[in-house]
A and B are shown apart, each in its own frame.
Chain A
Amino acid sequence: TQLLEQSPQFLSIQEGENLTVYCNSSSVFSSLQWYRQEPGEGPVLLVTVVTGGEVKKLKRLTFQFGDARKDSSLHITAAQPGDTGLYLCAVTTGTASKLTFGTGTRLQVML
């Protein structure tokens, strides 16, 4: 059983469309991170959310942490080809030492 389940697994959309991806768990976390990974590269941090219900915006990307701190969503407005990549959520557990990633959502934005 995966600690963090992401959905959908794969998403292919046209430029300009909006989309939402989800990161779900049955556990409660003190914080949650979102990373983006481009082909041939390691993941790069986008944002960390800490407070239940928190909303953070990064240009066209909006991140929300669930009220109960068990889940999170990432919404992209007017997607662009540059948004293409693998989106990963991650949490630290075990006295904040273990860093566990979700199953990932692969996004492809076409012209």
Chain B
Amino acid sequence: NAGVTQTPKFRVLKTGQSMTLLCAQDMNHEYMYWYRQDPGMGLRLIHYSVGEGTTAKGEVPDGYNVSRLKKQNFLLGLESAAPSQTSVYFCASRGVLPEAFFGQGTRLTVV
């Protein structure tokens, strides 16, 4: 049982480049989330989804877009990367209970 899988695990981008982070879950969960975590800090919510075909903004959505075309996948896109988006990105999913399950994270550096 894989749980929540994030790809890629590491990435270095140049300023202005674009990329997509993929999150896949095999637990049939309705809710999925994207967070960013900066050094020494907690998790800040970027975007989330309450089901296939739905997305909603979190606390820090600017510069990011998301899509949930399939229930098991939640994609996070950066259209034009900036150094301020250097961070570790975590995806999470949950079912009807509050417990969230997290992926291993994607370490992104924008130079």
Q: Which residues of A contact B (CB under 8 A)?
A: 6, 9-10, 31, 33, 40-45, 48, 86, 88, 90, 92, 96-104, 106
Contacts and interface: CB of A to CB of B under 8 A. Distances in A.
B42 A101 contact: yes
Interface of B: 4, 31, 33, 35, 40-45, 48, 50, 56, 58-59, 90, 92, 94, 97-100, 102-105
A24 to B, nearest CB: 14
Contacts of A10: 40
Contact of B43 (A96, A97, A101): A101
A97 B41 contact: no
Contact of A45 (B4, B90, B99): B99
Contact of A99 (B4, B31, B41, B42): B31
A103 to B, nearest CB: 5
Contacts of A88: 42-43
A48 B98 contact: yes
Given A33-B98, A48-B99, A98 B48 contact: yes
Give 7 nearest A-B pairs by CB, closest first: A42-B102, A104-B42, A101-B43, A97-B50, A45-B99, A103-B42, A101-B42
B45 A100 contact: yes
Given A88-B42, A97-B31, A97-B56, 16 more contacts: A9-B40, A33-B99, A40-B105, A41-B102, A41-B105, A42-B92, A42-B102, A43-B102, A45-B99, A90-B100, A99-B31, A101-B35, A101-B45, A103-B41, A104-B43, A106-B40
9 contacts: A33-B98, A43-B100, A48-B97, A48-B99, A88-B42, A92-B98, A99-B33, A99-B45, A100-B59
Q: From A42, A44, A96, A101, name the one whose CB has the most chain B CB atoms within 10 angstroms.
A: A42
Nearest to B59: A100
Contacts of A40: 104-105
Contacts of B4: 42
Contacts of A48: 97-99
Contacts of B45: 98-101
A99 B99 CA distance: 10
